[in-house]
Amino acid sequence: MKVDTSGWTVEDHIVLAVSTGVDSMCLLYALTHLYRDTYRKLTCLHVNHGLREESIEEERFFQTYCEQHHLSYDIKHLDLSHLVASGKSIQNDSRQMRYQWFDYKMHELNADVLLTAHHLDDQLETIFYRLFSGRATRSRLGMSYLTAREQYKICRPLLQSHKQDIRYFQQVHHVPFYEDCSNHINKYVRNDIRNRLIPEINDNEQLDVEQLLKLKAWHDAQMEQLENKTSRFIQDYVNMNHNHTMITCPRTRFNCLPYYDKVMLMDCLLQYTDIPAPYSERTYYEWFHQIANDKAQFEIGLTEQWHIKIAYDKFIIMAKYQQQTSVEPIKIYHHGHYHFGNSHIIVDEQMPADVFPLTIRTRKNGDIFCLNGQTAHKKVSRLMIDHKVDMNERNIMPIVVDAEQHIIAVGQLYISRTHQDYLTINNGDE
C-alpha cells in the first residue's frame, strides 16, 4: 500500500476522515505507526449518518480506537430522516452535509490538510461514473491528489494504491475495521459500477478498465488548456465591478467561441456570483441561442436576484438591484474625485475657474451638445443610440454641465476638446 505524503509537511496539522472501513482504518494505522514523523498533529473525524443499525457500533469502535491510541477526534451525527422519507437519493445531500461539517471543523481546529482514503479503484469508478453520467465535459474526469478548499487542502494519499493492496496491508498489520454491508447493494450507482460493471469489463481479455487512467491524463491536459484559454478571455475581454454584481462580456466575441469554450466561460463567470447551483448544458444551449440572435436588447432571467441583460454588442450578468433608474444630481465647486452612480469622475486642478460650478446629472429630453470642431449640435439621445448604449446605462450615464449650462461631457462617449485634459470619467472600478 503506497501512501503519498507529499501533500503535507512536518509543520502541518492534518485531519483524517475515518469511516471505519478498511481503507480509512489502514490509512489511519499507517499515519500513526509508519508516517508519524510526516506531520505535526493528527485529528480524526467520523460522521454517523444514522442510516444503518451498525452505525452505532461503528461509532463506538471509532471512539474506542482513538482513545486507546491517544488520538484527538470528533464525531458528527447527521439527521437524514427527511431525505429518506422523501424517497430521493441521499448521496449528494449527505456528502454536502459532511463537507459542511468538515469545513467547520477545519476552521475550528485551524488545521491545514483534510485527508480522505480514496484509492485507485475509487478513481476508476469516478472516471467511469462521470463518463457515462454526462459529467465529463465541464469538470476534471477524475479525482485529484490535492484539491484546494477555501481555507485548507483536501489530500488523497492512497490514490495510487489498489484496493487489493490495501487489503493486503490490513492482513499483514492486522488492522481492525468495519465492513459496510451497504457497499454490496447494487441499487446505488457507484456500487453497481464497482461490483458488476468493472468486473465484467476486466473479464474480457481485450479490455482493461485501467485504460481509463490514460483517458483521464489526456482529458486533464485538455481541460487545463481550456481553463487557461478561458482565463485569458476573461482577462482580455470581460469587465467586472468590484463586487461582481455586473459582469460584462462582448457579445460578438462570445458568439465566435466554440461551444464548450462558451460552457467553460459561462461556468467561470457564474462562479463570481452568488447563484447557488450550476445550470444544465441544455439551459446553456438555450441561452447561447438567444445571445446569438439579432435582437438588440432583451433579458434572460436566471434567479429572483440575477438576470442576463443583452444590450447590443454585449451581454451582462447583472444583479437586479444594479438596475438604477435615476441618480441625484450633484454640484462641483472645485477640483477633486467624485462618484456618480457607477462612474468615477476626476476634475483636474487645472480646470478653468469659469466653468464652476459644474453640475453632474443624468440625461434630459432635448439635451444637445456641440460637436468638437463643428458648429453643429447633436442630441445626447442620438449619441447614445449610435454607440449602442443600453437603456439602463442611458439612465445613469453622467452628463457634465458647466456654469452656463453647456454640456461638456457625456460619460465616456464625448468630452469637449476644451476640457478633455482636465476631466476624466471612468466606469465602475476603472
204-230 pLDDT per residue, tens:
999 999 999 999 999 999 999 999 999
Q: Are residues 51 and 168 in the same domain?
A: yes
Compare 126 and 320 and report the one with higher pLDDT: 126
At 369, phi and psi to the nearest 5? Answer: -145, 160
Across 166-189, average pLDDT: 84
Q: What's the sign of the alpha-carbon dihedral 372, 373, 377, 383?
A: negative
Residue 300's Cβ-side half-sphere holds a number of Cα atoms within 13 Å equal to 19
What local confidence, expressed as pLDDT, does residue 142 receive? Answer: 93
Across 8-29, average pLDDT: 97
Is 227 part of any domain? Answer: no
What local confidence, expressed as pLDDT, does residue 303 receive? Answer: 86
Give the integer Cα–Cα distance in Å for 24 and 178: 10
Is 210 part of any domain? Answer: no
**Band of residue 276 on the pLDDT scale cut at 50, 70, 90:** confident
Report pLDDT digits (tens) over 53-72.
788 899 999 999 999 999 99
Q: Are residues 270 and 367 in the same domain?
A: no
Least confident of 76-90, 135-149, 327-341, 395-409: 76-90
Check whether 335 has a pLDDT greater than 80. yes
Triad 166, 171, 173: Cα angle to 5°:
95
Question: What CATH number should be reported for the domain holding residue 105?
Answer: 3.40.50.620
Least confident of 118-127, 240-249, 291-300, 314-323: 314-323
For the chain, percent helix, then strand, then coil, each to nearest 5?
A: 40, 20, 40
Q: Are residues 120 and 197 in the same domain?
A: yes
What local confidence, expressed as pLDDT, does residue 217 receive? Answer: 94
Is 213 part of any domain? Answer: no
Compare 163 and 274 and report the one with higher pLDDT: 163
Q: What percent of the chain has pLDDT over 70?
A: 93
What local confidence, expressed as pLDDT, does residue 398 receive? Answer: 93
CB proximity list for 374: less than 8 A, separation 6 or greater: none
Q: Are residues 306 and 335 in the same domain?
A: no
Q: Are residues 121 and 68 in the same domain?
A: yes
Q: Are residues 305 and 379 in the same domain?
A: no
Residue 297's Cβ-side half-sphere holds a number of Cα atoms within 13 Å equal to 8
CB proximity list for 146: less than 8 A, separation 6 or greater: 7, 153, 154, 155, 156
- Order of strands, edge to edge, in the sheet holding 41-48? 72-77, 41-48, 13-17, 113-115, 153-155, 146-148
Is 338 part of any domain? Answer: yes
Instruction: Please tell me whether the peptide bond between 357 and the residue prior to it is cis, using omega within 30 degrees of 0.
Output: yes
Q: Are residues 378 and 352 in the same domain?
A: yes
SS3 of 163-217: the string is HHHHHHHHHHHCCCCCCCHHHHCCCCHHHHHHHHHHHHHHHCCCCCCCHHHHHHH
Give the integer Cα–Cα distance in Å for 406 and 60: 82
Domain that holds residue 372: 330-427
Whole-angstrom Cα Rg for the chain? 30
**Band of residue 322 on the pLDDT scale cut at 50, 70, 90:** low
Domains held by the chain: number: 3
**Band of residue 246 on the pLDDT scale cut at 50, 70, 90:** confident
Compare 100 and 186 and report the one with higher pLDDT: 100
Least confident of 41-45, 88-92, 165-169: 88-92
Compare 88 and 149 and report the one with higher pLDDT: 149
Q: Are residues 166 and 74 in the same domain?
A: yes
Report pLDDT digits (tens) over 247-264.
999 999 999 999 999 999
Q: Are residues 365 and 419 in the same domain?
A: yes
Least confident of 140-149, 224-233, 379-388: 379-388
Check whether 167 has a pLDDT greater than 90. yes
Q: Are residues 177 and 36 in the same domain?
A: yes
Check whether 93 has a pLDDT greater than 70. yes
pTM of the model: 0.70
Is 222 part of any domain? Answer: no
Q: Are residues 159 and 190 in the same domain?
A: yes
Q: Are residues 293 and 372 in the same domain?
A: no
